[in-house]
Structure 1
Amino acid sequence: MNTQKDLINLLMQHSSTRKYTDQPIDEKTKQTILACSQMAPTSSYLQAYTIIEVTDPAKRDELATISGGQEWLKKAPLTLLFCADLHRSEKFLTVTDPKVFQNTELYTVAVVDATLAAQKALIAAQSLGLGGVIVGGVRNEMDQLADLFNLPERVMPLFVLCLGYPAEQLPVKPRLPQQFIVGTDAYPDKETDLTSYNQEVSNYYDQLTNGADTFNWVERCTYALEQKPRYEVDEFVKKAGFLKN
């Protein structure tokens, strides 16, 4: 990648990659991805996240099972679990109010830090010719995840980033029209008609699946919320020592 245009094209052409070639990711490439991940912005310099590379086939199998059978968790050349982590901060920082590690602000900081780090890792990987997918389905069984990776208190597993050299390139999924997302000096709450966007999403999946799936944006997002409410995440968050105030 040599030009500003290359970078913009990379960002604009993002699509999730779930099928990979047999080409391994060499150590130098992996370390470059991890180093870029660590250069993500971080609130108050806390770096409140942890990355766990998953190499054990048995643990990969368990991740795939927990997530509902997502095979790419087993087959991706590089599998990284990203966690929100206040354990390290609590261990090394001496503060006058120890309850600060239980408040909503630091929970938010840790989740945002981990998410920004994962996005940096994905962009770095894509710039090196790899593709990837972020899997939130591992949150289906958070207690199991915590046991599987020996997570201490105040560490919350968020998602897995799977990376590898793409065996296929899917078309870019259409995003919401910008007027729904971007406001000027106020929340953008004037747009209500999703007809055109719903049709665009329906057409996208119709072509992608040869007519097997024509659900639009409203239909598929409603289904996702009804099928995966994950109320148990709230219980895990508090049990792990977050949000106790």
Structure 2
Amino acid sequence: MNELIDLMMRHRSIRQFTDEQVSEQDIQKAVAAGQMASTSGAIQSYCVIQVEDSANRDELVTLTGNQTKVARCGAFFVICGDTRRHRLIADRDELPYDTRCEAFLLAVVDATIFAQNMALAFESMGYGICYIGGLRNDLPAVSSLLNMPEGLYPLFGLCVGRPAQDPMIRPRLPQPGVLFKDHYPDDATMMAMVEDYDTTMLKYFQDRGAGDRIWSREMSGKFSEPKRMSLGPYYRDQGANLD
């Protein structure tokens, strides 16, 4: 196994950090690595906002559901899909800008690939990372706090810092459950693999002292009720036509 794959296979989300700040040099290296990620047609419809102001980070703790690591990590970033610059270019050239769903999806995909390259770069330098989906709990408030213009789509946060914990690696689904040849498997085959994974995850939870948790039951509960119903209206208000 080469060094890059070994790094990927050792990934854990880090939720406790030391007081060490992330150096500006390391931030620039990680962002440069993120920028070298694949991007559709060289569009590069992403940007990243580093939140340095301590008051803003404290407010983001509240907005993300009291995730204190947002304030305590060595650096915190907001990953955004960015169609703003392309809109400005279109205005300059007196051309219309297509705001339909494809443009929004391009920004989401580009930003996500960028962020993962950036995260891997940080991990290669000995930092730990944790993505923060809770950023989407109240995006209008996030937008107001960070003065986000139309055409900018905040997607998730990224905590970076020196790890102050050494958590176990969380097992993933068995590879036959995600790698298929030529066609998707039948439902019975898929559910058999889910049951196998439930057994694996039960041991993982028990070893961590987390009780007799069943992964598939948690998943069915997680998606049993609508969540973050304001996302569609928010992204539309930001200029995305999701039709």
2:83 corresponding residue in structure 1: 86
1:7-46 residue pairs with structure 2 within 5 A? 7-46=4-43
My pick for the range that moved more, 222-231 or 104-113, is 222-231
**2:129 matches 1:112:** no
1:195 corresponding residue in structure 2: 195
Among candidates 81, 96, 99, match of residue 98 of structure 1 = 96
Q: Deviations for 1:111-138, whole angstroms, at most 9, x for unmatched residues? A: 0011011101110001011110000111
Query: Are the counterparts in 2 of residues 182 and 188 from structure 1 also a CA contact under 8 Å?
Result: no
User: Normalization by structure 2: what TM-score?
Assistant: 0.92
Deviation at 1:244, TM superposition (A): 5.2
* 2: CA distance, partners of 1:113 / 1:96: 25
Deviation at 1:143, TM superposition (A): 0.6
Equivalent position SS for 1:18: coil
* 1: CA distance, partners of 2:157 / 2:128: 14
Equivalent position SS for 2:80: strand
Q: Deviations for 1:88-131, whole angstroms, at most 9, x for unmatched residues? A: 1111136786251x111111100001101110111000101111
Equivalent position SS for 2:191: coil
**What is the identity percentage for the equivalent residue pairs of Structure 1 and Structure 2?**
33
1:216 corresponding residue in structure 2: 214
Among candidates 232, 235, 240, match of residue 234 of structure 1 = 232
Query: Are the counterparts in 1 of residues 90 and 96 from structure 2 also a CA contact under 8 Å?
Result: no
Q: Deviations for 1:48-74, whole angstroms, at most 9, x for unmatched residues? A: 011000011111111111111111101
2:68 maps to a residue whose letter is E
* 1: CA distance, partners of 2:132 / 2:226: 13
Deviation at 1:191, TM superposition (A): 2.3
> Structure 2: which 5+ runs fail to align?
none
> Structure 1: which 5+ runs fail to align?
none
Query: Are the counterparts in 2 of residues 179 and 191 from structure 1 also a CA contact under 8 Å?
Result: no
* 1: CA distance, partners of 2:168 / 2:119: 18
- How well do the aligned residues superpose, as a CA RMSD in angstroms? 1.8
2:171 corresponding residue in structure 1: 174
Deviation at 1:186, TM superposition (A): 1.8
